[in-house]
A and B are shown apart, each in its own frame.
Chain A
Amino acid sequence: MRERILELVKYRELVRNLVIRDIKLRYRNSVLGFVWCLGNPLLMMAVFTVVFTILMPTDIPKYPVFILCALLPWNYFNTSIMGAIDSIVGNAHLIKKVYFPREVLPLSIVLANLVNFLLALIVLFAMLFAFRVRLTPWALYLPLIILIQTIFTLGLGLIFATLNVFYRDTKIIMEVGMLAWFFLTPVFYRIEDLVPQYARLMYWVNPMASFISWYRIVLYHGISMEPGFIFRTFVTSVIALIVGYLVFTRYSSVFGEEV
């Protein structure tokens, strides 16, 4: 275990290069290139805003900011998980030919999406400014939230990446699964709008609900968070990472013949 982690550290250069490759490739062949990384969240925000302020109006104030606060972290999570699922099977040509610690692949996917997410935050801050949402010192929680969410995402990504090697249905199921998860997470609605017992249940079983609320609380509402809540989410995420890492390393030695 300790050796494996040391080995991973030795391959940090590879992680870095893969992250760079991912980001470069994402925008290299499009006309607008890097602009998409900012334009994409804006367009999605516009779509949700049109639906929930014009077609089906809600009483949520400053809806564009409200949705963007949740949509960006959700996108980060969604693209990371879907990317990680395919990270081993999709790189079969590499896995079969070269040795390197396999966890490098899902890790670099999550980190590449993290970089993307951080860049997209520029848009979020621009919108916060445009809608005159006052930032409070609680916004300083942001790096901590992102860190914990990354830990959680990575743990889950490792599990799904492993599963997909043995059962290729994983990817297909998760495509639907992530859509269901999106609806079961308070991204475009308020968790307070739910039937109270379901809201509580959601906090308990859906860590993403916690993350999303957390982003909203510190950015959109600009109020403080309950420390116990932070701690619980943190513990959940660390457990997810440990379980994910153990599952992944338990099976990664046979990836070479299973992909």
Chain B
Amino acid sequence: MATRSSAPLHPCSPAPLLMSAAIEFENVSKRFILHHARPRSFQELVIGALWRSRSREELWALNGVSFEVEQGEMLGVIGPNGSGKSTILKLISRILEPTSGSITVDGKVSALIELGAGFHPDLTGRENVYLNGSILGLSQEEMDVRFKEIVTFAELGRFIDMPLKIYSSGMYMRLGFAIAINVEPDILLIDEVLAVGDESFQKKCLAKIEEFKQQGKTMVFVSHALETVRKLCDKAIWLEEGEIQSMGNPGKVIYDYLDDLRRKEGVTLDEKHRHLRYELEEQRLENRWGSGEVERLPTHVLMGENDAHCLDSGWHEVEDWPPKVRWTKKRASLLLMPDGSASRLSMIAWCPELALNPQSGRVYVDGRVVGKFDLTDANPRTFSFWLPQPDKSQPIKVTIEVKRTVIPAEAGLSEDRRELGVAVQEIWTD
């Protein structure tokens, strides 16, 4: 029998102080009776009753799925189309009821499943904001507080008092997104919303997701963008035909998934996924999965100007390599000089025999991406970011990961191979 226990006062109960599971699936199964096999009218019902030939086609979208998402954790769900990913989100948000098993959800859920569900084209932006807020279970006063923030985030300006039917699809989406993230959910469900919208909007979404992570919100992220799942998620599930194939460290789960895909007949991984798989395999060979609490990035540091082949790995302290780093109490700026003689980054870029293109890469602070850079524009870039939880006893690791984007054939490296130049510095806050 399907049971659904939830914390009392389901959508609005405050998150408990203790670390506990925000979402818990226990042996959850979901059966759909396929619509074409179901009588949709009295006529079909009568015919069905007379002939009894009507086949009840069943589809088990989920089959005995169990997992837990801790408070503040971000879970990535990957798998092919029709594997049951979206069904999980719909079960969490209570749109669907499980056929069997139990689901516990603790906290207010907001879903970025379809932005602007419930928008009415004839109502103005303002009216839609309030209507949508109440659909998500917020009161008028609660929406009053958030209204300004929503309008600012959606960049609507004076359009807010015009009917939605004159909005561009971008405005429509921005408004939907702004509402969904400003209802201050405890649990945020994200379903491929990042796949839509222009690049700047996607960036904004990612930045907001980062912010939610910092705030310790629980998130479930369903995506085909494996690279994003690896970067963002603390944990991942690979679903196939409604069953969990692999669960745990995102890198490992994605590797398992890609490896399985590769083995399948008639499937060729595209360039992007081949690279990702290769990268992950390297990690796997170096046995770097661990418990997932500490993540080590592949760290190949190129040493010295003329010693380009000397690769080192592991956390590396480089004394003569401080890119100009300034620290204030809570905020750090990091200046990268593409042509600065003291910068190791520039030295990597200067190695002629590897013919490395000007570098692009990412900057991590404690394993979290704080920025991307591309030095092709030959301009110094400054990254500013907030330091996570300043703690005198803990070093903060700033990692700069540099990707070589073009590998010439004459370098004698196989085309599939890609190296990462990573410089690491440990900095203690004062």
| Chain A residues within 8 Å of B, Cβ to Cβ | 7, 10-11, 13-14, 16-18, 21, 24-25, 28-29, 93-100, 167-169, 253-254, 256-257
Give the CA-CA distance A236 to B12 in the complex, in Å.
37
A163 to B42, CA, bound (A): 11
Which residues of chain A have C-beta atoms less than 8 A from B11's C-beta?
10
Cβ contacts under 8 Å, B117 to chain A: 93-94, 96-98
Q: How far is the CA of A16 from the CA of B138 in the complex (A)?
A: 12
Q: Quick one: CB contact mask for B76-92 with A, threshold 8 Å, 1 for yes?
A: 00000000000000100
Determine the chain A residues whose CB is within 8 A of the CB of B130 once the complex forms. Answer: 17
Residue in B32, B42, B95, B134 whose CB lies within 8 Å of A11: B134
**Residues of chain B lying within 8 A (CB to CB) of residue A17:** 130-131, 134
B93 x A253 contact (CB < 8 A): no
Q: Within 8 Å CB of A100, what residues of B?
A: 135, 137
24 pairs across A/B with beta carbons < 8 Å? A10-B137, A13-B138, A13-B140, A17-B130, A21-B123, A21-B127, A24-B123, A28-B122, A93-B117, A93-B118, A95-B95, A97-B111, A97-B113, A97-B114, A97-B118, A98-B95, A98-B111, A98-B117, A99-B93, A167-B40, A167-B41, A167-B42, A256-B96, A257-B32
Closest chain B CB from A248 CB (angstroms): 15
Give the one of A98, A100, A253 with max B CB within 10 A. A98
Of A24, A93, A94, A97, chain B has the most CB atoms within 10 Å of the CB of A97
The secondary-structure label for the interface of chain B is loop
- Please tell me if B379 contacts chain A, counting CB pairs below 8 Å: no
Residues of B within 8 A of A253 (CB): 97
Structural contact, A169 and B122, CB atoms closer than 8 A: no
Q: Is the CB of A94 within 8 A of B96?
A: no
Bound: A135/B39 CA distance, A:
54
Q: Is the Cβ of B122 less than 8 Å from the Cβ of A98? A: no
In the complex, which residues of chain B have a beta carbon less than 8 angstroms from the beta carbon of A169? 41-43
Assembly CA distance A28 to B117 (angstroms) = 21
- Would A14 and B114 count as touching, CB distance under 8 A? no
For B113, list chain A residues within 8 Å (CB). 97
Q: B45 and A167: CB pair below 8 A?
A: yes
Contacts of B137 in A (CB 8 A): 10-11, 14, 100
Count of residues in B whose CB is under 8 Å from the partner chain: 36
Decide if the interface of chain A is mainly helix, strand, loop or mixed.
helix
Complex partner residue of A94 from B10, B42, B93, B135, CB under 8 angstroms: B135
- State the CA gap A97–B113 with chains docked (Å): 7
Bound CA span A168–B208, Å: 42
In the assembled complex, the Cα of A256 lies from the Cα of B130 at a distance in Å of 23
Contact B40 A25 (CB under 8 A): no
Residues of B within 8 A of A167 (CB): 39-42, 45
Tell me the complex Cα distance, A256–B86, Å. Answer: 13
* Complex CA–CA separation, A253 to B97 (angstroms): 6
B113 nearest CB across to chain A (Å): 6
Residues of A within 8 A of B90 (CB): 256
The answer to whether A99 touches B95, judged by C-beta atoms less than 8 angstroms apart, is yes
B99 CB to closest chain A CB (Å) equals: 10
B97 touches A14 (CB 8 A): no
Q: Give complex CA distance A17, B123 in Å.
A: 12
Tell me, rounded to whole Å, the shortest Cβ–Cβ distance linking B254 to chain A. 28
A residues in contact with B43, CB < 8 Å:
169
Residues of A near B94 (CB, < 8 A) are 99
Contact of A14 with B134 in the complex, beta carbons under 8 Å: yes
Asked whether B140 lies within 8 Å of A94 as measured between CB atoms, the reply is: no
- List the 8 closest pairs (A to B, CB-CB), nearest first: A97-B117, A99-B94, A14-B134, A256-B95, A253-B97, A13-B134, A17-B134, A97-B114
Q: Does B139 contact A (CB under 8 A)?
A: yes
Contacts of B97 in A (CB 8 A): 253-254, 256
**CB proximity of A183 to chain B, nearest CB, Å:** 23
Assuming A97-B114, A98-B118, A169-B41, what are 9 further A-B pairs, CB within 8 angstroms? A14-B137, A17-B131, A21-B120, A24-B123, A94-B135, A96-B95, A167-B41, A256-B97, A257-B32
In the assembled complex, the Cα of A69 lies from the Cα of B90 at a distance in Å of 48
Interface string of B100-112 (1 = CB under 8 A from A): 0000000001010
B136 contacts chain A at the CB level, 8 A cutoff: yes
Contacts of A97 in B (CB 8 A): 95, 111, 113-114, 117-118
How distant is B42 from chain A, measured CB to nearest CB, in Å?
Answer: 5
Measured in the bound complex, the distance between the Cα atoms of B124 and A25 in whole Å is: 11
Hey, which chain B residues are within 8 Å of A24, CB to CB?
Answer: 123, 127
Q: Smallest CB–CB gap between B244 and chain A, Å?
A: 22
**Residues in B neighbouring A94, C-beta threshold 8 A:** 117-118, 135
Closest to B128 in A: A21
User: Which of A16, A24, A95: most chain B Cβ within 10 A?
Assistant: A24
Q: A47 CB to closest chain B CB, in angstroms? A: 29
Choose from B32, B45, B122, B139 the contact partner of A13 (Cβ within 8 Å). Answer: B139
CB distance from B323 to the nearest CB of A (A): 47
